[in-house]
Amino acid sequence: MRCVIARFPFELTKAGVIASMKGIKPEPAVGDVVVIGRRQYPVKQVGEVVTRQDRRDFSAGEVVRAMTKLGFTCTTVTAGEQAAAPVDPTGTPDAAGTAESTGTAY
């Protein structure tokens, strides 16, 4: 489907967007999000990945319109609705070296 984002035309497909976002870790999201698979991605992150443009070059509304036309669910998430960070199943501390993800104290 032809979409115009930041004045540039793109030929986007649902399968192409899914393939582009495969292996991309969702950033913490507050505001507009796109549901791709079982994950919620901020619309600006999706727009940046699929268009290879800087996030400042397009609006969230442009990406929401394009993703909705492709059949993705777009919604708004508030800070209170944001899902908790996933716990590392190996029980190792998170990247900051804290034990928040394991529940143990150092």
**Cα separation, 25 vs 39, whole angstroms:** 9
**H or E, element range at 66:** helix 60-70
Q: How far is CA 10 from CA 6, 47, 60, in A?
A: 10, 11, 16
How are beta strands 73-77 and 31-36 bridged, if at all?
antiparallel
**H or E, element range at 47:** helix 43-51
Examine residue 23 and state whether it is found in any structural domain, yes or no. yes
More confident of the two residues 84 and 68: 68
- Asked whether residue 69 carries a pLDDT value surpassing 90, the answer given is yes
Examine residue 9 and state whether it is found in any structural domain, yes or no. yes
Examine residue 86 and state whether it is found in any structural domain, yes or no. no
| Secondary structure class of 90 (helix, strand, coil) | coil
Examine residue 31 and state whether it is found in any structural domain, yes or no. yes
Binned at pLDDT 50, 70 and 90, residue 81 comes out as confident
Examine residue 102 and state whether it is found in any structural domain, yes or no. no
| pLDDT tens-digit readout, 10-27 | 999 999 999 999 999 999
Examine residue 67 and state whether it is found in any structural domain, yes or no. yes
- Asked whether residue 103 carries a pLDDT value surpassing 70, the answer given is no
Range of the domain at 21: 2-77
What pLDDT was estimated at residue 80? Answer: 75
Give helix 43-51 / helix 60-70 axis angle, nearest 10°.
Answer: 80
Binned at pLDDT 50, 70 and 90, residue 34 comes out as very high
For residue 77, give the nearest of 38, 31, 35, 41 by alpha carbon: 31
Question: How many domains does the chain fold into?
Answer: 1
Q: What is the pTM of this model?
A: 0.72
Task: Determine the average pLDDT of the residues in 86-99.
Answer: 47
Cα radius of gyration rounded to whole Å, the chain: 16
Examine residue 64 and state whether it is found in any structural domain, yes or no. yes
Examine residue 68 and state whether it is found in any structural domain, yes or no. yes
